[in-house]
Amino acid sequence: MIETQERTVTVWQDRVRIRVLSKGHGPALVFFHGPWGLTWDPFLDELARSFTVLAPEHPGTTPEAHDDIYHLDGLWDLVLCYDELLEVLGLESAVFVGHSFGGMVACEVAAAYPARARRLALLAPLGFWRDPDRIINWMMLEPGELRRHIFHDPECDAARRMFPPSDAHDATAAARVRMVWAMGTTGKFIWPIPDKGLKKRIHRVTAPTLLVWGKEDRLVPAVYADEFTRRLQSGRVQTVDAAGHAPHLEQPEKVARLVRDFLSQ
């Protein structure tokens, strides 16, 4: 199998370094990862069979570039950064896939630059807030609790990969640092409530959009799909059985098939 490629590009007057992992052949697909950092996973491997998958790391989560996050003050800066990144990657347009926080970012970029996004697949995206369906602040959960909130089955392979066993102290500490810093750098754009005005901008999105939601999502309940579909020009929802807030990690083949079929249309 072909190895994952990586390159680090700089944007924002050379102040923000972003590592981009890539793999595959075919049309460009940009993957925006969620609040726990980017890990190349079986879902991305599946997509790489039909697309050239480009997965940038959220600013601050690239190794040796942790403090770059301090150069971005808000969502507007972040969206502009991604516009610059697409420019540097030579992508006038692409299909976007985003998970959770990354789903919100993909949607914001598509709202700011409608021509950049040809099609959108959003996996349990953030971006809205409903008082009766408060989103639990995952940043304040103990690791064990967090694991039970992300996954429908906290003992699944993906959960074991995200949370290494505690007998390996160094590996656990390193994984925890990586995860906490990823939550901090993404949390910078959504604290304390992950509704930063997407409702005012989402009408600008022209790309046909697929929303994928785990039926057992304990962080962002599936009712949030309605907030997207009733505002998008063209949006439909697909729910996934036996999956929580990371459906692409818990059911990689099923979700990859849904996403690939939709993006290939």
Partner 1 sequence: MKISAFHLMPYRELPADFEQRYESVWVTPPWWELADARRVGQYYNWTLDELLYAAKCGFDGVCTNEHHQNAYGFMPSPNLMGSVLARQTNGTNVAIVQMGATLPTSNPPLRVAEEYAMLDCISGGRLVAGLPLGSPMDVNLCYGITPMEHRERYREAVALTLKAWQAREIFSWNGRYFQLATVNLWPRPIQQPHPPVWIPGSGSISTFDFAVEHDVCYCFLSYSGARSAKTMMDGYWRVVAEKGRDLNPYRAGFLQLVVVAESDARAEEKYAQHVEYFYHKCLHVPPMWFSPPGNQDYRSLVATMSNPVRRAENPKTLRYREFVDNGYVIAGSPATVRDRLKEEVIKNLRVGNLMVLLQIGSMPHELALENIELFGREVLPDLRDTWDDEPWVNHWWPERLRQRAVAPVAAGVAAGGA
> Contact residues for partner 1 (CB under 8 A)?
66-67, 69-70, 73, 139-142, 170, 173, 176-177, 180-185, 187-188, 191-193
Q: How far is the CB of 142 from partner 1 (least distance, A)?
A: 6
Q: How far is the CB of 189 from partner 1 (least distance, A)?
A: 8
Q: Which is nearer to partner 1, 135 or 156 (CB)?
A: 135
Q: Which is nearer to partner 1, 90 or 165 (CB)?
A: 165
Give CA–CA dist 261/235, Å, rounded.
15
Q: How far is the CB of 132 from partner 1 (least distance, A)?
A: 18
Q: Which is nearer to partner 1, 89 or 180 (CB)?
A: 180
Residue 1 tokens read as 């199998």
Q: Which is nearer to partner 1, 59 or 252 (CB)?
A: 59
- Cα Rg for the chain, rounded, in angstroms? 17
Q: How far is the CB of 180 from partner 1 (least distance, A)?
A: 5
Q: How far is the CB of 63 from partner 1 (least distance, A)?
A: 11
Q: Which is nearer to partner 1, 37 or 252 (CB)?
A: 37
